[in-house]
Structure 1
Amino acid sequence: MKKFSILVAGGGSTYTPGIVLMLLDNLDKFPIRQIKFYDNDKERQDIVANACEILIKERNPEIDFLATTNPEEAFTDVDFVMAHIRAGKYAMRELDEKIPLKHGVVGQETCGPGGIAYGMRSIGPMIELIDYMEKYSPNAWMLNYSNPAAIVAEATRRLRPNSKILNICDMPIGIERHMATILGLKSRKDMTIKYYGLNHFGWWTSVTDKEGKDLMPKLKEHIAQHGYNVNLQMYQHNDASWNDTFMKAKDIYAIDPTTLPNTYLKYYLYPDYVVEHSDINYSRANMVMDGREKFVFGECKKIAEAGTSEGCELHIDEHASYIVDLARALAYNTKERMLLIVENNGAIENFDKTAMVEIPCLVGCEGPEPLTVGTIPQFQKGLMEQQVSVEKLVVEAWIEGSYTKLWQAMTISKTVPSAKVAKEILDDLIEANNEFWPELN
């Protein structure tokens, strides 16, 4: 049986240990001969790499391990690149959140002006990673879950249309785990779902069990009262701000009780609520830096100092299991049904053919085969057309170095009240991102 070579691009990420643990946990289904890390921040990567090297040696010493900042060394002889980079790291995420809030606008890392700022920083580095992969391992697949996935997906469609990159998101997976718990099922894989939208901007239209029984009525009854909140112990999504996000789903659901919403819609449909419940002095980035980042780096340092993972509290991240499933589908032609961000190309009949939409696909060795969605209602279509225009204008602004197009993107965003406010936020973001964005004219 073939053993695979995996490169984690963004080796210094707090998510990397969870991915390594997931890979080690699934070697019977997905055998590995080599794991490599690549990052442009050696110091940060070393903290994670020193711990992961010990984890790999303890669990499967036959697997080769390498952490490097050299692109040729990293990208040579790999089958899969698992990319989760954050250009500007958490320091820039903090500004993405706090600058819009200063203007009374939603401050969020993937939605509204913050997502636009992050997207402008991410396009160049993502294209660079694709080019390295195509130069040194032209047959490899890139599984990208770097945010903001919608803008990254549109950029890769425009700039590298033939590249072997799949853009994915773990948020629907997290919500489906909540659904499974609400329904008393062991796993989200016990459900068959229909879903459509854009990344962080979609709706479930059908949830059935494997026999085809409709599970939507039971879910709707729960969500109408409690949103997606359940007593589910998930490290990533179990703090107060996430509980609020899951609870707010009941208000999003109320707008269209024929579907079940992605929680991120709260930023577009209830921006006033979000701003009111945000703390400009202590945003989500601060919570992550004080919580997840301190925890993961602390555990990694403990492992490195002790030379053993005994007693360590690092664990598998939920989104990592999805990545293994996707890699297996590509490697073994499993035709597994998975949600991916792909070019619409008529899957949603009454929507822009070139839009990057998030829909179920069957995944095999040739890549994804999108499933037909059909026509969508006016409410969702209107919201999606507005949002997809934001994403396309951001990418055009990056390609052309156009200030006007970026201002237009900000102005169209449903989170921003006027062109005046859009311009004020944009000017502040340009100043904050001068070392990351292309020059705008």
Structure 2
Amino acid sequence: MKLAVIGGGSTYTPELIDGFARLRDELPLTEITLIDPDASRLDLVAGVSRRMLRRAGHPARVVATADVAEGVAGADAVLFQLRVGGQAARNVDETLPLQCGCVGQETTGAGGLAKALRTVPVVLDLAEQVRAHAPDAWIVDFTNPVGIVTRALLDAGHRAIGLCNVAIGFQRRFARHLGVAPERVELGHVGLNHLTWERSVLVDGVDVLPKLIAEHGPELADDLGLPVELLRRLQVVPSYYLRYFYAHDLVVTEQRAKPSRAAEVAAMETQLLELYADPAVDTKPDLLEKRGGAYYSEAAVALIASLLGDRGDVQVVNTRNNGTLPFLRDEAVIEVPARVSASGAAPLPVEPVEPLYAGLIANVSAYEELALDAALNGGADRVRNALLAHPLIGQEAIAGELTDLLLEANERYLPW
């Protein structure tokens, strides 16, 4: 079984390799091809990946290449984890919106739109190469903004599913609080990528969310950066990304007072690459835990194993709405539990979504549709309309100012 990783030079990749090594019985890989245009990073990441697999006694070979066609040829699955513009572009995404009093974040708001504008055309070009050289392969997208990118892939007719680590992170966190195995925890996870709520937490079929909030509310709220009173009143656990909506002005104040997350990550990446260059390093460095992407490898292994092994189990993924949330278009991409098999992901039925959440979901889904239109077709007016539609912006004057700033900052990535 061959897996290709586009963006294989990412410092995330050893997290994946660690999962492949530990979960070899679940996903019996024989070849892992790492594809990346940055030769220096790719060599370092490929080297530590080979050492990690060798230490674990895993038989898969690691191939490193900058040639996408060669790398994806014959693959059973292709994982997308790329970042157009690297951490430098991310730093702009996280700092430029602050000039207009808006949250600076790489996957939502103005920063998320900028990333979508840069990313969607590149992903679609790469996906066409997958279609040409590995026509039966599944594309698993971990590239942000996952909802918009996955919608672009599906609209273009690709065999694609979006993946995020938020749900599996909650599952593992809840399991620790409850003292149970993660496999016993099922989430009532609903929304869009990076805009989700846990409305139930089932352990052996019994909803323990009220107990979880009653006994561990302060810890959960602290992790999310939200008031515990909010969790108690709503009796849900929002994802961390809801903080950008529920505490927007506070977040802007905090962001203006400290370095961007991109600056922090760039420093970590320098240290990680130095570690990867050490021939004695053959395990996942502890520093990688701070890099982000916790449980990414477990989620990826589970999804790929189900797609290729036709397991029919339930996982939280990003896929077509197709009537699951009746207040959204069928073509929208949502993030919900779905039954995953060789034919793809079929969302499970969802209990009616309360207006407090449905309204925001519908608003952001409409923005995502406009953002995709802007990414595919270009034009300052399309960018401005998408910004105007986003609930974190929503003012004409600010949308206009941000449009000018974003287009100037991203000109090199936008041929139009």
Q: TM-score range by the shorter chain?
A: over 0.9
- Supply the RMSD in Å over aligned alpha carbons: 2.0
* Structure 1 pair 437–281 and aligned structure 2 pair: CA distance change class (3 A): farther
Q: Tell me by how many angstroms 1:175 deviates.
A: 2.2
Partner secondary structure for residue 196 of structure 1: strand
Alignment counterpart, residue 220 of structure 1, candidates 209, 213, 217: 213
Instruction: Please say if 1:137 is aligned against 2:134.
Output: yes
The separation in 1 between residues aligned to 2:353 and 2:283, in whole angstroms, is 52
* Structure 1 pair 278–39 and aligned structure 2 pair: CA distance change class (3 A): same
AA in 2 matched with 1:92: A
The separation in 2 between residues aligned to 1:391 and 1:249, in whole angstroms, is 28
Q: Tell me by how many angstroms 1:226 deviates.
A: 3.2
1:149 maps to which residue?
146
2:242 maps to which residue?
265
Q: Which runs of 5+ in 2 are unaligned?
A: none
Q: Tell me by how many angstroms 1:107 deviates.
A: 0.3
| TM, length-normalised to structure 2 | 0.93
Q: Tell me by how many angstroms 1:434 deviates.
A: 0.8
Alignment counterpart, residue 337 of structure 1, candidates 286, 306, 314: 314
Partner secondary structure for residue 435 of structure 1: helix
What percent of counterpart residues are identical?
A: 27
Instruction: Please say if 1:297 is aligned against 2:273.
Output: yes
2:330 maps to which residue?
353
Residues 287-323 of structure 1 deviation map (CA, whole Å, 9 limit, x = unaligned): 11123x13321220113xx4x6279657785111110
Partner secondary structure for residue 248 of structure 1: coil
2:228 maps to which residue?
250
Alignment counterpart, residue 78 of structure 1, candidates 75, 82, 96: 75
AA in 1 matched with 2:16: I
Kept in 1, the 8 Å contact 2:195–2:242? The answer is: yes
Q: Structure 1 residue runs of 4+, over 4 Å off?
A: 310-317
Pairs within 5 Å for 1:357-396 = 357-396=334-373
Residues 45-102 of structure 1 deviation map (CA, whole Å, 9 limit, x = unaligned): 2221122223233434642221000122101121111111001110000000110012
Residues 146-197 of structure 1 deviation map (CA, whole Å, 9 limit, x = unaligned): 1111211222233x1x31111011012212222222222232x221222210
The separation in 2 between residues aligned to 1:223 and 1:383, in whole angstroms, is 26
1:240 maps to which residue?
none
AA in 2 matched with 1:195: H
User: Higher mean Cα deviation, 112-121 or 47-56?
Assistant: 47-56
Q: Tell me by how many angstroms 1:282 deviates.
A: 0.9
Instruction: Please say if 1:199 is aligned against 2:193.
Output: yes
Kept in 2, the 8 Å contact 1:6–1:80? The answer is: yes
Kept in 1, the 8 Å contact 2:272–2:287? The answer is: yes
Alignment counterpart, residue 282 of structure 2, candidates 293, 309, 313: 309
Q: Tell me by how many angstroms 1:249 deviates.
A: 6.1
* Structure 1 pair 128–421 and aligned structure 2 pair: CA distance change class (3 A): same
The separation in 2 between residues aligned to 1:312 and 1:86, in whole angstroms, is 22
Q: Alignment length, in residue pairs?
A: 412
* Structure 1 pair 325–214 and aligned structure 2 pair: CA distance change class (3 A): same
Alignment counterpart, residue 64 of structure 1, candidates 58, 61, 65: 61
Kept in 2, the 8 Å contact 1:21–1:315? The answer is: no
Partner secondary structure for residue 255 of structure 2: coil
1:184 maps to which residue?
179
* Structure 1 pair 421–209 and aligned structure 2 pair: CA distance change class (3 A): same
Q: Which runs of 5+ in 1 are unaligned?
A: 230-242
Instruction: Please say if 1:23 is aligned against 2:17.
Output: no
* Structure 1 pair 214–59 and aligned structure 2 pair: CA distance change class (3 A): closer
Q: Tell me by how many angstroms 1:24 deviates.
A: 1.4
2:50 maps to which residue?
53
Kept in 2, the 8 Å contact 1:18–1:314? The answer is: no
Q: Tell me by how many angstroms 1:13 deviates.
A: 0.7
Q: Tell me by how many angstroms 1:18 deviates.
A: 1.0
